């Protein structure tokens, strides 16, 4: 009896570890980069608001608010939620709210419950994709050549070292991409300045608000439960779920590079804003 109980406990421990590993493989890079994006975007919006005043900054970057809210709305529809009210751009200086999506769902529907996670993080997905397609069609697909050899080894995805190795590969490639985007020959084209506006506008709102995070956490709990139950029922048959998870994550490694590129663009814009703000303070000092 004691041996049976010990084997059961070991199996439950293996199930828990497999679940954590699979969730890290599928969502770890997205959540880590998303956390970094949260702080950088906060600083960027703070600097932008100080330089241009809140009203001018918000209305000047309204397109980013629209993309942000569409990020929620698209996933709400994909997961079968009913959109009750959609305000793509409705700034409120008192609350700080810029727009919202109010949606309803069946709390007994597991698929719709899990959907809350993806609805919450929708702007982290749609925003970088919008910047990617803006660059591709305004600056030319050739600017993405530094990323063509970028790949992530599915065999190393399950470890921190594997993730760090990928980021070490993606970071210089993204810097080369930035160099291609901001090359002097691009400056003479109207497409470059339109892209620059879109990058600032959309990038400024690739961020999750506290209600977004709360909704995402609610869905994440159900996502974890699904993985736990699935592993509980199948782990004894072998590691096929882990192999499939690794393969699935490796197929969208290019998106991680796009998200990293968005983060670097925001850092660049933040640096420019900080420089302008510093020069303004210096001028006032004299």
d(CA 268, CA 260): 12
Quickly state the pLDDT bin for 7 (edges 50, 70, 90). low
143 closest CA partner among 102, 195, 211 = 195
The reply to whether 98 falls in a domain is no
Phi, psi (degrees; rounded to nearest 5) at 139: -105, -20
pTM, entire model: 0.83
Residue 109 falls within a domain, yes or no?
no
217 domain-assigned: no
Per-residue b or e along 193-230, where b marks 16 or more CB atoms closer than 10 Å to that residue's CB: eebbebbbbbbbbbbbbeebeebbeebbebbeeebbee
Q: Does the residue 110 lie in any domain?
A: no
How many structural domains does the chain have?
A: 1
pLDDT in tens, 234-249: 776 766 666 667 666 6
205 lies in a domain? yes
User: Quick one: pLDDT band at residue 116, thresholds 50, 70, 90?
Assistant: very high
Does 150 reside within a domain? Answer: yes
Between 108 and 162, the more confident residue is 108
CA distance 103 to 80: 10
Does 93 fall in a domain?
no
| Residue 277 exposure: Cα atoms within 13 Å on the Cβ side | 16
pLDDT given at position 79? 93
């Amino acid at each position: 009896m004691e041996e049976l109980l010990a084997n059961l406990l070991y199996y439950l421990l293996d199930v828990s570890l497999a679940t954590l590993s699979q969730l890290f493989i599928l969502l770890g890079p997205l959540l880590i980069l998303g956390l970094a994006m949260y702080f950088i975007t906060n600083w960027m919006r703070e600097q932008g608001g100080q330089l241009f005043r809140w009203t001018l900054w918000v209305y000047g970057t309204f397109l980013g608010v629209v993309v942000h809210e569409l990020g929620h709305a698209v996933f709400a529809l994909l997961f079968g939620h009913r959109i009750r009210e959609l305000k793509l751009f409705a700034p409120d200086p008192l609350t700080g709210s810029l727009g919202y999506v109010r949606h309803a769902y069946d709390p007994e529907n597991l698929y719709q419950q899990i959907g809350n996670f993806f609805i919450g993080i929708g702007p982290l997905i749609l925003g970088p994709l919008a910047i990617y397609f803006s660059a591709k069609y305004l600056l030319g697909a050739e600017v993405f050549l530094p990323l063509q050899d970028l790949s992530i080894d599915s065999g190393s995805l399950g470890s921190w070292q594997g993730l760090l190795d990928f980021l070490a590969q993606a970071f210089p490639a993204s810097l080369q991409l930035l160099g291609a985007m901001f090359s002097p020959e691009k400056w003479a084209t109207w497409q470059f300045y339109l892209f620059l506006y879109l990058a600032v506008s959309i990038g400024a709102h690739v961020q999750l608000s506290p209600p977004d995070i709360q909704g995402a956490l609610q869905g994440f709990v159900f996502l974890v439960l699904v993985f736990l139950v699935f592993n509980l029922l199948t782990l004894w048959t072998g590691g096929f779920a882990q192999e499939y998870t690794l393969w699935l994550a490796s197929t969208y490694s290019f998106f991680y590079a796009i998200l990293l590129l968005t983060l670097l663009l925001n850092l660049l814009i933040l640096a420019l804003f900080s420089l302008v703000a510093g020069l303004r303070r210096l001028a006032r000092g004299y």
